[in-house]
């Protein structure tokens, strides 16, 4: 009888322990849950890291712009008809401005540097450097990739900036775009801030796609369902926004 009377108490203790474990798992996993919608993923809010030491010069006819980066630059995983933001930028600027994008999926700052040094890129008047997402390994424990040390990321980015400026090009950094979950943005944040620090140290502009996303009205998702890559609407948003940053009076809002 004494054992039977204790059983309900033990059952309640086990149930409470299981509930506590489940609540703990829910608290751990909740930041990983993307802000999914039917058409894609809404980007999670994050603080801007834009850095502008002075006004940007509007490209003149015949100006050559090169964009170096990862899958964001390549326009990967859109899964629908659409243009990468570099092509959108070229359309918006018009006036004979040529925009060439060199984006490779999975590229880190160091990996991208090795590729462009070996590929003999054509001369450019302006180079936009857009690395950092893969350096951050934003999937965290959901993937086996490990983040690149911040110091190594800064070193690779700084080498590229100085090498390109030595060739006579102007350089703009572009921060890694925000993702579709709090956890992704938390992992991206140190690299976004590191890029801002580099821009300040080198006295060059840095533009943040987070500002572009915030400027696009409505609740239309700008990311694919993987919560990381831009969908066609995201590329349109970023390309048009970049054009307005370069030529605020020459490009329609």
Residue 127 burial by CB count (10 A; 0-12/13-18/19+): exposed, middle or buried? buried
- For residue 186 the two structure tokens come to 């938390």
Does residue 25 have a pLDDT over 50?
Answer: no
Confidence band (pLDDT; 50, 70, 90) for 88? very high
Average pLDDT score over residue span 15-24: 49
Residue range 95-148, pLDDT digits in tens: 899 999 999 999 999 999 998 888 777 789 999 999 999 999 998 766 678 999
Tokens of 147: 């983040």
pLDDT at 9: 65
Q: How confident is the model at residue 54 (pLDDT cuts 50, 70, 90)?
A: confident
Three-class SS of residue 35? coil
Which one, of 192, 190, 225, 174, lies nearest residue 43 by Cα?
A: 225
Q: Across the strands, what pairs with 66? A: 100, 127
- pLDDT higher at 234 or 14: 234
Burial 220-246 (b: 16+ CB within 10 A, else e): ebbbbbbbbbbbbbbbbbbbbbbbbbb
pLDDT at 11: 66
Q: Say how many C-beta atoms besides its own lie within 10 A of residue 102's C-beta.
A: 18
What is the rounded average pLDDT for all residues in the chain? Answer: 86
Cβ burial, residue 252 (10 Å; 0-12/13-18/19+): exposed
pLDDT at 31: 59
- Of 1-10, 78-87, 187-196, minimum mean pLDDT range: 1-10
């Amino acid at each position: 009888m004494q054992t039977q009377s204790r059983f309900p108490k033990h059952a309640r203790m086990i149930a409470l322990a299981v509930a506590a474990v489940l609540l703990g798992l829910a608290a751990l996993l909740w930041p990983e849950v993307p802000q999914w919608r039917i058409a894609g993923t809404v980007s999670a809010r994050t603080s801007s890291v834009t850095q502008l030491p002075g006004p940007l010069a509007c490209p003149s006819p015949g100006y050559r712009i090169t964009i170096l980066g990862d899958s964001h630059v390549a326009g990967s995983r859109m899964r629908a008809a659409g243009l990468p933001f570099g092509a959108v930028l070229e359309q918006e600027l018009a006036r004979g401005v040529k925009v060439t994008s060199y984006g490779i999926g999975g590229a880190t700052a160091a990996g991208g540097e090795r590729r462009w040094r070996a590929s003999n890129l054509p001369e450019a008047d302006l180079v936009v450097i857009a690395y950092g997402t893969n350096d951050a390994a934003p999937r965290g424990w959901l993937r086996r990739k490990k983040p690149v040390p911040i110091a190594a990321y800064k070193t690779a980015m700084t080498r590229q900036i100085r090498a390109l400026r030595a060739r006579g090009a102007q350089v703009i950094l572009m921060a890694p775009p925000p993702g579709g979950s709090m956890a992704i943005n938390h992992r991206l944040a140190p690299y976004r801030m590191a890029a801002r620090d580099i821009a300040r140290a080198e006295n060059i502009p840095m533009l943040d796609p987070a500002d572009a996303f915030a400027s696009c009205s409505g609740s239309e998702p700008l990311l694919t369902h993987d919560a990381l890559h831009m969908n066609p609407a995201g590329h349109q948003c970023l390309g048009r926004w970049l054009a307005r940053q370069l030529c605020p009076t020459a490009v329609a809002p």
